[in-house]
Structure 1
Amino acid sequence: MRLLEDRTIRLFVGLAAFFCANAVLAEFIGVKIFALEATLGIAPLHWDLFGNRGTLDFTAGTVIWPIVFIMTDTVNEYFGMRGVRMISWLAAGLVAYGFLFAYIAIHLAPATWWMGAAQTQGVPDYQAAYAAIFGQGMWIIVGSLVAFLVGQLIDVRVFHRIRRHTGDRHAWLRATGSTAVSQLVDSFVVLYIAFVIGPQHWPTAQFLAIGTLNYVYKMLAAIALIPLLYLARVGIHRYLGHDRAAELRTLAAQED
Protein backbone atom coordinates (compact mmCIF):
# COMPACT_ATOMS: atom_id res chain seq x y z
CA MET A 1 0.00 0.00 0.00
CA ARG A 2 1.29 3.46 -0.85
CA LEU A 3 1.93 5.60 2.19
CA LEU A 4 -0.53 8.34 1.29
CA GLU A 5 -3.25 5.80 0.63
CA ASP A 6 -3.37 5.12 4.37
CA ARG A 7 -6.44 6.96 5.63
CA THR A 8 -4.89 7.50 9.06
CA ILE A 9 -1.94 9.38 7.56
CA ARG A 10 -4.20 11.40 5.28
CA LEU A 11 -6.39 12.28 8.26
CA PHE A 12 -3.42 13.52 10.29
CA VAL A 13 -2.06 15.54 7.37
CA GLY A 14 -5.48 17.12 6.83
CA LEU A 15 -5.96 17.95 10.51
CA ALA A 16 -2.43 19.35 10.79
CA ALA A 17 -2.86 21.51 7.69
CA PHE A 18 -6.19 22.91 8.88
CA PHE A 19 -4.79 23.51 12.36
CA CYS A 20 -1.74 25.38 11.05
CA ALA A 21 -3.79 27.42 8.59
CA ASN A 22 -6.11 28.58 11.38
CA ALA A 23 -3.22 29.37 13.75
CA VAL A 24 -1.42 31.46 11.12
CA LEU A 25 -4.63 33.24 10.10
CA ALA A 26 -5.47 34.05 13.71
CA GLU A 27 -2.10 35.73 14.18
CA PHE A 28 -2.33 37.85 11.02
CA ILE A 29 -5.97 38.94 11.24
CA GLY A 30 -5.57 39.64 14.96
CA VAL A 31 -4.29 43.14 14.24
CA LYS A 32 -7.90 44.27 13.79
CA ILE A 33 -9.93 45.14 16.89
CA PHE A 34 -13.68 44.67 16.46
CA ALA A 35 -16.65 45.73 18.57
CA LEU A 36 -18.62 42.65 19.53
CA GLU A 37 -21.79 44.56 20.42
CA ALA A 38 -21.89 46.47 17.13
CA THR A 39 -21.17 43.26 15.22
CA LEU A 40 -24.14 41.59 16.92
CA GLY A 41 -26.31 44.70 16.51
CA ILE A 42 -26.87 45.21 20.25
CA ALA A 43 -26.32 48.13 22.59
CA PRO A 44 -22.82 48.45 24.12
CA LEU A 45 -22.35 46.34 27.26
CA HIS A 46 -20.10 48.39 29.51
CA TRP A 47 -17.90 46.36 31.85
CA ASP A 48 -16.08 47.43 34.99
CA LEU A 49 -13.20 45.25 36.19
CA PHE A 50 -10.41 46.13 38.61
CA GLY A 51 -11.30 49.80 38.28
CA ASN A 52 -11.14 49.74 34.46
CA ARG A 53 -14.14 50.36 32.24
CA GLY A 54 -14.75 49.58 28.60
CA THR A 55 -16.88 47.86 25.99
CA LEU A 56 -16.55 44.38 24.47
CA ASP A 57 -13.74 44.92 21.99
CA PHE A 58 -11.61 41.96 20.87
CA THR A 59 -8.99 41.13 18.28
CA ALA A 60 -10.34 39.48 15.13
CA GLY A 61 -8.08 36.51 15.90
CA THR A 62 -10.41 35.48 18.71
CA VAL A 63 -12.96 34.48 16.06
CA ILE A 64 -10.64 31.70 14.89
CA TRP A 65 -8.90 30.61 18.11
CA PRO A 66 -11.86 28.54 19.40
CA ILE A 67 -11.56 26.46 16.20
CA VAL A 68 -7.87 25.95 17.02
CA PHE A 69 -8.94 24.64 20.45
CA ILE A 70 -11.29 22.14 18.83
CA MET A 71 -8.57 21.02 16.42
CA THR A 72 -6.10 20.61 19.30
CA ASP A 73 -8.51 18.40 21.23
CA THR A 74 -9.38 16.36 18.14
CA VAL A 75 -5.72 15.66 17.35
CA ASN A 76 -5.12 14.90 21.02
CA GLU A 77 -7.99 12.42 21.05
CA TYR A 78 -6.73 10.35 18.12
CA PHE A 79 -2.99 11.06 17.84
CA GLY A 80 -2.01 11.83 21.42
CA MET A 81 0.53 14.18 22.93
CA ARG A 82 3.14 13.63 20.24
CA GLY A 83 0.65 14.59 17.55
CA VAL A 84 -0.33 17.84 19.31
CA ARG A 85 3.28 18.76 20.04
CA MET A 86 4.24 18.19 16.42
CA ILE A 87 1.50 20.38 14.96
CA SER A 88 2.03 23.04 17.65
CA TRP A 89 5.72 23.42 16.86
CA LEU A 90 4.94 23.32 13.15
CA ALA A 91 2.30 26.05 13.50
CA ALA A 92 4.62 28.23 15.60
CA GLY A 93 7.35 27.82 12.98
CA LEU A 94 4.95 28.78 10.20
CA VAL A 95 3.76 31.85 12.12
CA ALA A 96 7.37 32.97 12.63
CA TYR A 97 8.08 32.26 8.95
CA GLY A 98 5.06 34.34 7.96
CA PHE A 99 6.09 37.28 10.13
CA LEU A 100 9.64 37.12 8.75
CA PHE A 101 8.46 37.46 5.16
CA ALA A 102 5.89 40.07 6.12
CA TYR A 103 8.79 42.09 7.55
CA ILE A 104 10.78 41.60 4.34
CA ALA A 105 7.78 42.57 2.20
CA ILE A 106 7.22 45.76 4.21
CA HIS A 107 10.80 46.85 3.59
CA LEU A 108 10.71 46.26 -0.16
CA ALA A 109 10.75 49.62 -1.95
CA PRO A 110 7.12 50.33 -2.97
CA ALA A 111 6.25 51.31 -6.53
CA THR A 112 5.34 54.99 -6.63
CA TRP A 113 2.05 54.47 -8.47
CA TRP A 114 1.02 51.69 -6.05
CA MET A 115 1.33 53.89 -2.94
CA GLY A 116 -1.59 56.03 -4.08
CA ALA A 117 -3.57 53.31 -5.85
CA ALA A 118 -6.25 53.12 -3.15
CA GLN A 119 -6.86 56.83 -2.57
CA THR A 120 -10.39 56.54 -3.92
CA GLN A 121 -11.03 53.92 -1.22
CA GLY A 122 -9.92 56.26 1.53
CA VAL A 123 -6.35 54.93 1.81
CA PRO A 124 -3.98 57.80 1.00
CA ASP A 125 -0.78 55.81 1.49
CA TYR A 126 -0.96 52.11 0.62
CA GLN A 127 2.59 51.49 1.94
CA ALA A 128 1.80 52.96 5.35
CA ALA A 129 -1.42 50.94 5.57
CA TYR A 130 0.38 47.76 4.51
CA ALA A 131 3.09 48.30 7.12
CA ALA A 132 0.54 49.06 9.84
CA ILE A 133 -1.47 45.89 9.15
CA PHE A 134 1.33 43.38 8.62
CA GLY A 135 4.03 45.01 10.74
CA GLN A 136 2.91 43.94 14.21
CA GLY A 137 5.31 44.95 16.96
CA MET A 138 8.06 42.55 18.00
CA TRP A 139 6.71 42.31 21.55
CA ILE A 140 3.28 41.26 20.25
CA ILE A 141 4.82 38.64 17.96
CA VAL A 142 6.99 37.19 20.72
CA GLY A 143 4.12 37.28 23.20
CA SER A 144 1.77 35.52 20.80
CA LEU A 145 4.24 32.75 19.96
CA VAL A 146 5.28 32.11 23.57
CA ALA A 147 1.68 32.13 24.80
CA PHE A 148 0.60 29.81 21.98
CA LEU A 149 3.30 27.21 22.66
CA VAL A 150 2.92 27.32 26.44
CA GLY A 151 -0.84 27.07 26.14
CA GLN A 152 -0.65 24.12 23.76
CA LEU A 153 1.80 22.19 25.94
CA ILE A 154 -0.37 22.77 29.00
CA ASP A 155 -3.52 21.83 27.09
CA VAL A 156 -2.17 18.44 26.04
CA ARG A 157 -1.09 17.58 29.59
CA VAL A 158 -4.38 18.58 31.22
CA PHE A 159 -6.35 16.78 28.49
CA HIS A 160 -4.61 13.49 29.29
CA ARG A 161 -4.91 14.01 33.04
CA ILE A 162 -8.67 14.33 32.69
CA ARG A 163 -8.77 11.44 30.22
CA ARG A 164 -7.08 9.22 32.80
CA HIS A 165 -10.14 9.64 35.03
CA THR A 166 -12.89 9.72 32.40
CA GLY A 167 -11.66 7.05 29.97
CA ASP A 168 -13.58 7.23 26.69
CA ARG A 169 -16.49 9.05 28.34
CA HIS A 170 -17.17 12.80 28.57
CA ALA A 171 -15.12 14.08 25.63
CA TRP A 172 -16.63 17.53 26.28
CA LEU A 173 -15.21 17.55 29.81
CA ARG A 174 -11.58 16.91 28.86
CA ALA A 175 -11.85 19.30 25.91
CA THR A 176 -13.36 22.12 27.98
CA GLY A 177 -11.23 21.40 31.04
CA SER A 178 -7.95 21.46 29.10
CA THR A 179 -8.99 24.64 27.29
CA ALA A 180 -9.98 26.29 30.58
CA VAL A 181 -6.53 25.76 32.07
CA SER A 182 -4.43 26.41 28.95
CA GLN A 183 -6.29 29.58 27.97
CA LEU A 184 -6.07 30.93 31.50
CA VAL A 185 -2.31 30.90 30.98
CA ASP A 186 -2.41 31.92 27.30
CA SER A 187 -4.70 34.92 27.81
CA PHE A 188 -2.42 36.49 30.41
CA VAL A 189 0.99 35.47 29.07
CA VAL A 190 0.47 37.16 25.70
CA LEU A 191 -0.71 40.40 27.34
CA TYR A 192 2.07 40.34 29.92
CA ILE A 193 4.84 39.98 27.34
CA ALA A 194 3.30 42.29 24.73
CA PHE A 195 1.92 45.09 26.91
CA VAL A 196 3.30 44.88 30.45
CA ILE A 197 7.01 44.23 29.93
CA GLY A 198 6.67 45.62 26.40
CA PRO A 199 6.96 49.33 25.58
CA GLN A 200 3.38 50.23 26.61
CA HIS A 201 3.87 49.16 30.28
CA TRP A 202 0.23 48.55 31.12
CA PRO A 203 -0.67 48.99 34.81
CA THR A 204 -1.56 45.81 36.69
CA ALA A 205 -5.27 46.65 36.90
CA GLN A 206 -5.56 47.10 33.13
CA PHE A 207 -3.60 43.90 32.51
CA LEU A 208 -5.90 41.90 34.80
CA ALA A 209 -9.08 43.46 33.39
CA ILE A 210 -8.26 42.87 29.70
CA GLY A 211 -6.85 39.40 30.41
CA THR A 212 -9.97 38.37 32.33
CA LEU A 213 -12.28 39.70 29.62
CA ASN A 214 -10.35 37.85 26.89
CA TYR A 215 -10.37 34.64 28.91
CA VAL A 216 -14.12 34.74 29.55
CA TYR A 217 -14.77 35.38 25.84
CA LYS A 218 -12.56 32.46 24.76
CA MET A 219 -14.20 30.09 27.23
CA LEU A 220 -17.73 31.03 26.18
CA ALA A 221 -16.77 30.56 22.53
CA ALA A 222 -15.10 27.22 23.28
CA ILE A 223 -18.19 25.97 25.11
CA ALA A 224 -20.45 27.13 22.27
CA LEU A 225 -18.36 25.13 19.78
CA ILE A 226 -18.46 21.83 21.72
CA PRO A 227 -20.95 20.39 19.19
CA LEU A 228 -18.19 20.75 16.55
CA LEU A 229 -15.99 18.46 18.63
CA TYR A 230 -18.60 15.71 18.44
CA LEU A 231 -19.26 16.35 14.75
CA ALA A 232 -15.52 15.94 14.12
CA ARG A 233 -15.58 12.62 15.99
CA VAL A 234 -18.51 11.38 13.93
CA GLY A 235 -16.75 12.36 10.71
CA ILE A 236 -13.49 10.68 11.75
CA HIS A 237 -15.24 7.44 12.72
CA ARG A 238 -17.04 7.36 9.39
CA TYR A 239 -13.83 8.09 7.48
CA LEU A 240 -11.58 5.60 9.28
CA GLY A 241 -14.15 3.06 10.36
CA HIS A 242 -15.13 2.50 13.99
CA ASP A 243 -12.50 -0.14 14.73
CA ARG A 244 -9.55 1.88 13.40
CA ALA A 245 -10.76 5.06 15.12
CA ALA A 246 -11.13 3.19 18.42
CA GLU A 247 -7.63 1.75 18.00
CA LEU A 248 -6.16 5.23 17.50
CA ARG A 249 -7.91 6.55 20.59
CA THR A 250 -6.56 3.66 22.64
CA LEU A 251 -3.01 4.25 21.40
CA ALA A 252 -3.32 7.99 22.08
CA ALA A 253 -4.52 7.33 25.63
CA GLN A 254 -1.55 5.04 26.28
CA GLU A 255 0.85 7.96 25.75
CA ASP A 256 -0.17 9.41 29.10
Structure 2
Amino acid sequence: MESSPLTKTADLQSRQYRYLDIVMAFFVAVLIVSNVASSAKIVDLGFSLFGIPLAFDGGTLLFPISYVFGDVLTEVYGFRASRRVIWTGFAALALSSLVFLLLRFLPAEAAWENYAGTAAYDAILGGMSTGGIALASLLGYWIGEFSNSAVLSRMKVAMKGRHLWVRTIGSTLVGEFLDSLVFVFVASLTGVFGWELFVTLVLTNYLFKCGIEVLMTPVTYLTVRKLKKSEAVDAYDVGISFNPFGGNKKD
Protein backbone atom coordinates (compact mmCIF):
# COMPACT_ATOMS: atom_id res chain seq x y z
CA MET A 1 0.00 0.00 0.00
CA GLU A 2 1.48 3.32 -1.07
CA SER A 3 1.49 5.99 1.62
CA SER A 4 0.58 9.63 1.45
CA PRO A 5 3.41 12.21 1.71
CA LEU A 6 2.55 12.87 5.35
CA THR A 7 3.26 9.26 6.29
CA LYS A 8 6.78 9.56 4.92
CA THR A 9 7.99 11.82 7.71
CA ALA A 10 8.74 11.80 11.41
CA ASP A 11 5.13 12.43 12.51
CA LEU A 12 4.60 8.67 12.25
CA GLN A 13 6.20 8.50 15.69
CA SER A 14 3.21 10.17 17.37
CA ARG A 15 0.75 7.56 16.09
CA GLN A 16 -0.55 4.59 18.04
CA TYR A 17 -0.34 1.19 16.40
CA ARG A 18 -2.26 -2.00 17.12
CA TYR A 19 0.47 -4.55 16.42
CA LEU A 20 3.80 -2.81 16.96
CA ASP A 21 4.08 -3.96 20.58
CA ILE A 22 3.26 -7.55 19.56
CA VAL A 23 5.95 -7.57 16.89
CA MET A 24 8.40 -6.11 19.43
CA ALA A 25 7.52 -8.80 22.00
CA PHE A 26 8.23 -11.64 19.56
CA PHE A 27 11.38 -9.89 18.39
CA VAL A 28 12.76 -9.69 21.94
CA ALA A 29 11.72 -13.29 22.71
CA VAL A 30 13.63 -14.53 19.66
CA LEU A 31 16.72 -12.62 20.79
CA ILE A 32 16.70 -14.04 24.33
CA VAL A 33 16.04 -17.66 23.31
CA SER A 34 18.63 -17.61 20.53
CA ASN A 35 21.18 -16.08 22.90
CA VAL A 36 20.76 -18.96 25.36
CA ALA A 37 20.86 -21.51 22.54
CA SER A 38 24.10 -20.01 21.21
CA SER A 39 25.85 -20.83 24.45
CA ALA A 40 24.11 -24.17 25.00
CA LYS A 41 25.33 -26.20 22.03
CA ILE A 42 27.43 -26.28 18.86
CA VAL A 43 25.68 -28.24 16.11
CA ASP A 44 27.61 -30.21 13.46
CA LEU A 45 25.60 -31.36 10.45
CA GLY A 46 28.26 -33.92 9.58
CA PHE A 47 29.20 -32.68 6.11
CA SER A 48 31.26 -29.91 4.58
CA LEU A 49 30.78 -27.09 2.08
CA PHE A 50 33.85 -26.27 -0.01
CA GLY A 51 35.91 -28.21 2.51
CA ILE A 52 34.57 -26.32 5.53
CA PRO A 53 32.54 -28.36 8.06
CA LEU A 54 29.00 -27.11 8.51
CA ALA A 55 28.99 -26.49 12.24
CA PHE A 56 27.11 -23.67 13.92
CA ASP A 57 26.01 -22.51 17.36
CA GLY A 58 22.47 -23.39 18.44
CA GLY A 59 21.24 -19.82 18.26
CA THR A 60 21.69 -19.83 14.49
CA LEU A 61 18.49 -21.89 14.20
CA LEU A 62 16.33 -19.07 15.57
CA PHE A 63 18.28 -15.82 15.49
CA PRO A 64 17.74 -15.16 11.74
CA ILE A 65 14.03 -14.72 12.50
CA SER A 66 14.96 -11.51 14.33
CA TYR A 67 16.09 -10.10 10.99
CA VAL A 68 12.73 -10.99 9.48
CA PHE A 69 11.08 -9.04 12.31
CA GLY A 70 13.60 -6.24 11.74
CA ASP A 71 12.71 -6.08 8.05
CA VAL A 72 9.00 -5.96 8.83
CA LEU A 73 9.47 -3.24 11.44
CA THR A 74 11.51 -1.00 9.16
CA GLU A 75 9.40 -1.61 6.06
CA VAL A 76 6.08 -0.93 7.78
CA TYR A 77 6.83 1.47 10.65
CA GLY A 78 10.11 3.06 9.54
CA PHE A 79 13.64 3.31 10.91
CA ARG A 80 12.76 5.33 14.01
CA ALA A 81 10.26 2.77 15.27
CA SER A 82 12.73 0.01 14.43
CA ARG A 83 15.48 1.87 16.31
CA ARG A 84 13.34 1.91 19.45
CA VAL A 85 12.67 -1.82 19.18
CA ILE A 86 16.35 -2.60 18.55
CA TRP A 87 17.34 -0.70 21.70
CA THR A 88 14.61 -2.54 23.63
CA GLY A 89 16.09 -5.83 22.47
CA PHE A 90 19.56 -4.66 23.43
CA ALA A 91 18.36 -3.81 26.95
CA ALA A 92 16.66 -7.22 27.25
CA LEU A 93 19.86 -9.01 26.22
CA ALA A 94 21.87 -6.99 28.72
CA LEU A 95 19.36 -7.78 31.48
CA SER A 96 19.50 -11.51 30.74
CA SER A 97 23.31 -11.39 30.96
CA LEU A 98 23.12 -9.67 34.34
CA VAL A 99 20.71 -12.34 35.63
CA PHE A 100 23.02 -15.16 34.54
CA LEU A 101 25.94 -13.30 36.14
CA LEU A 102 24.06 -13.01 39.43
CA LEU A 103 23.16 -16.71 39.35
CA ARG A 104 26.80 -17.58 38.72
CA PHE A 105 27.89 -16.02 41.99
CA LEU A 106 25.00 -17.12 44.20
CA PRO A 107 25.75 -20.22 46.35
CA ALA A 108 24.61 -23.54 44.87
CA GLU A 109 22.15 -25.90 46.56
CA ALA A 110 23.80 -29.21 47.52
CA ALA A 111 21.55 -31.60 45.56
CA TRP A 112 21.79 -29.46 42.41
CA GLU A 113 25.57 -29.35 42.75
CA ASN A 114 25.65 -33.16 42.75
CA TYR A 115 23.57 -33.76 39.60
CA ALA A 116 24.45 -30.63 37.63
CA GLY A 117 27.07 -28.49 39.30
CA THR A 118 28.73 -25.11 39.05
CA ALA A 119 31.27 -26.39 36.55
CA ALA A 120 28.50 -27.39 34.14
CA TYR A 121 26.77 -24.03 34.63
CA ASP A 122 30.00 -22.16 33.93
CA ALA A 123 30.72 -24.26 30.84
CA ILE A 124 27.27 -23.76 29.28
CA LEU A 125 25.80 -20.53 30.63
CA GLY A 126 28.79 -18.86 32.22
CA GLY A 127 29.88 -17.32 28.93
CA MET A 128 26.59 -15.43 28.73
CA SER A 129 27.55 -13.40 31.77
CA THR A 130 31.35 -13.09 31.60
CA GLY A 131 32.25 -11.26 28.43
CA GLY A 132 32.13 -14.21 26.04
CA ILE A 133 28.72 -14.83 24.58
CA ALA A 134 27.22 -11.80 26.33
CA LEU A 135 29.60 -9.29 24.77
CA ALA A 136 29.66 -11.08 21.40
CA SER A 137 25.88 -11.21 21.24
CA LEU A 138 25.40 -7.59 22.25
CA LEU A 139 27.97 -6.18 19.83
CA GLY A 140 27.02 -8.45 16.93
CA TYR A 141 23.33 -7.80 17.43
CA TRP A 142 23.76 -4.01 17.77
CA ILE A 143 25.90 -3.61 14.66
CA GLY A 144 23.98 -6.12 12.55
CA GLU A 145 20.45 -4.96 13.34
CA PHE A 146 21.13 -1.26 12.89
CA SER A 147 22.98 -1.93 9.64
CA ASN A 148 20.14 -4.08 8.37
CA SER A 149 17.51 -1.48 9.25
CA ALA A 150 19.41 1.48 7.82
CA VAL A 151 20.24 -0.30 4.55
CA LEU A 152 16.65 -1.48 4.04
CA SER A 153 15.29 1.99 4.82
CA ARG A 154 17.61 3.73 2.37
CA MET A 155 16.93 1.13 -0.31
CA LYS A 156 13.18 1.60 0.09
CA VAL A 157 13.42 5.32 -0.59
CA ALA A 158 15.88 4.84 -3.46
CA MET A 159 13.73 2.12 -5.06
CA LYS A 160 10.48 4.02 -4.37
CA GLY A 161 9.03 1.11 -2.45
CA ARG A 162 9.40 -1.45 -5.22
CA HIS A 163 10.91 -4.95 -5.09
CA LEU A 164 10.59 -5.71 -1.39
CA TRP A 165 12.46 -9.00 -1.83
CA VAL A 166 15.55 -7.17 -3.12
CA ARG A 167 15.52 -4.88 -0.11
CA THR A 168 14.99 -7.57 2.53
CA ILE A 169 17.62 -9.91 1.11
CA GLY A 170 20.06 -7.10 0.29
CA SER A 171 19.88 -5.58 3.76
CA THR A 172 20.21 -9.02 5.33
CA LEU A 173 23.36 -9.78 3.35
CA VAL A 174 24.94 -6.70 4.95
CA GLY A 175 23.50 -7.01 8.46
CA GLU A 176 24.00 -10.75 8.88
CA PHE A 177 27.58 -10.59 7.60
CA LEU A 178 28.52 -7.91 10.14
CA ASP A 179 26.58 -9.69 12.87
CA SER A 180 28.20 -13.09 12.21
CA LEU A 181 31.69 -11.65 11.84
CA VAL A 182 31.54 -9.57 15.03
CA PHE A 183 29.79 -12.28 17.05
CA VAL A 184 32.23 -15.07 16.20
CA PHE A 185 35.28 -12.78 16.44
CA VAL A 186 34.42 -11.50 19.92
CA ALA A 187 33.34 -14.95 21.12
CA SER A 188 36.62 -16.44 19.85
CA LEU A 189 38.65 -13.56 21.29
CA THR A 190 37.15 -14.18 24.75
CA GLY A 191 37.67 -17.95 24.58
CA VAL A 192 34.07 -19.10 24.07
CA PHE A 193 34.91 -20.67 20.70
CA GLY A 194 38.27 -21.95 19.55
CA TRP A 195 40.00 -20.01 16.76
CA GLU A 196 40.09 -23.20 14.70
CA LEU A 197 36.29 -22.81 14.36
CA PHE A 198 36.40 -19.13 13.33
CA VAL A 199 36.03 -19.49 9.55
CA THR A 200 33.60 -22.40 9.90
CA LEU A 201 31.32 -20.56 12.31
CA VAL A 202 31.37 -17.27 10.39
CA LEU A 203 30.64 -18.98 7.08
CA THR A 204 27.98 -21.37 8.32
CA ASN A 205 26.29 -18.72 10.48
CA TYR A 206 26.19 -16.32 7.53
CA LEU A 207 24.99 -18.82 4.93
CA PHE A 208 22.42 -20.35 7.24
CA LYS A 209 21.00 -16.99 8.35
CA CYS A 210 20.81 -15.60 4.83
CA GLY A 211 19.25 -18.84 3.63
CA ILE A 212 16.50 -18.55 6.23
CA GLU A 213 15.86 -14.96 5.15
CA VAL A 214 15.39 -16.11 1.56
CA LEU A 215 13.07 -18.95 2.60
CA MET A 216 11.06 -16.59 4.80
CA THR A 217 10.53 -14.05 2.00
CA PRO A 218 6.93 -15.17 1.26
CA VAL A 219 6.10 -14.86 4.97
CA THR A 220 7.72 -11.42 5.06
CA TYR A 221 5.66 -10.31 2.07
CA LEU A 222 2.42 -11.56 3.64
CA THR A 223 3.17 -10.01 7.04
CA VAL A 224 4.17 -6.66 5.56
CA ARG A 225 1.05 -6.52 3.40
CA LYS A 226 -1.26 -7.37 6.31
CA LEU A 227 0.35 -4.90 8.69
CA LYS A 228 0.35 -2.04 6.20
CA LYS A 229 -3.33 -2.60 5.60
CA SER A 230 -4.26 -3.04 9.27
CA GLU A 231 -2.15 -0.14 10.54
CA ALA A 232 -2.83 2.12 7.53
CA VAL A 233 0.84 3.02 7.31
CA ASP A 234 3.72 2.59 4.88
CA ALA A 235 6.67 4.55 6.22
CA TYR A 236 9.24 6.17 3.94
CA ASP A 237 12.24 7.52 5.87
CA VAL A 238 12.79 10.78 4.03
CA GLY A 239 14.85 13.46 5.75
CA ILE A 240 15.52 11.56 8.98
CA SER A 241 18.67 10.76 10.91
CA PHE A 242 19.99 7.19 10.82
CA ASN A 243 22.04 7.77 13.96
CA PRO A 244 21.43 4.75 16.26
CA PHE A 245 21.49 7.12 19.23
CA GLY A 246 18.76 9.36 17.87
CA GLY A 247 18.78 12.93 16.70
CA ASN A 248 16.79 14.93 14.19
CA LYS A 249 19.54 15.98 11.82
CA LYS A 250 19.20 14.54 8.35
CA ASP A 251 22.00 12.15 7.34
Structure 1 equivalent of residue 136 of structure 2: 143
Task: Indicate the percent of aligned positions where both proteins have the same amino acid.
Answer: 24
Answer yes or no: is 1:221 the counterpart of 2:176.
no
- The structure, 1 or 2, with the larger RCO (C-alpha pairs under 8 Å, 6+ apart) is 2
Question: Do the aligned residues in 2 keep the contact of 1:80 with 1:255 (CA within 8 Å)?
Answer: no
Asked if residue 189 in structure 1 is aligned to residue 182 in structure 2, the reply is yes
Counterpart code for 2:190 = G
User: Partner of 2:20 in structure 1?
Assistant: 12
Contact 2:34-2:60 within 8 A present in 1 as well: yes
- 1:16-95 paired onto structure 2 within 5 Å: 16-35=24-43, 37=45, 44-49=46-51, 53-54=52-53, 56-95=54-93
- C-alpha distance 7-21 of structure 1, shift in aligned 2 (>3 A): farther
**1:46 match: secondary structure:** strand
Partners of 1:162 and 1:127 lie apart in 2 by 49
Are 2:123 and 1:132 aligned?
yes
Q: Residues 151-180 of structure 1, C-alpha deviation per residue, up to 9 Å, x if partnerless?
A: 111111210222123222211111111000
Matched position secondary structure for 2:56 = strand
1:208 and 1:155, CA in 2 relative to 1: closer, same or farther beyond 3 A?
A: same
Q: Could you say if the C-alpha distance between residues 98 and 110 of structure 1 is closer, same or farther in structure 2, counting changes exceeding 3 Å? A: same
**Pairing partner for 1:174 from 164, 167, 176:** 167
Is residue 39–residue 133 contact of structure 2 (8 Å, CA) maintained in 1? no
Instruction: Name 2:4's counterpart in structure 1.
Output: none
Please tell me whether the aligned partners of residues 154 and 182 of structure 1 are also in contact (alpha carbons under 8 angstroms).
Answer: yes
Structure 2 residue 190 is matched with structure 1 residue 198: yes
Contact 2:180/2:205 (8 A) holds in 1 = yes
Structure with the largest fraction of helix:
1
Whether contact under 8 Å (1:103, 1:135) holds in the other structure is yes
Is the contact between residue 191 and residue 211 of structure 1 (CA under 8 Å) also seen in structure 2? Answer: yes
Note the residue ranges of structure 2 that are not aligned, 5 or more in a row. Answer: 1-13, 241-251
Distance 1:200 1:156, change over 3 A: closer
- Which runs of 5 or more structure 1 residues have no equivalent in the other structure? 1-5, 38-43, 117-123
Please, which of 90, 96, 99 is the counterpart of residue 98 of structure 1? 96
**Which TM-score applies when normalising by structure 2?**
0.79
TM-score by length of 1: 0.78
Q: Which has the larger radius of gyration?
A: 1
Provide the aligned C-alpha RMSD in A: 2.5
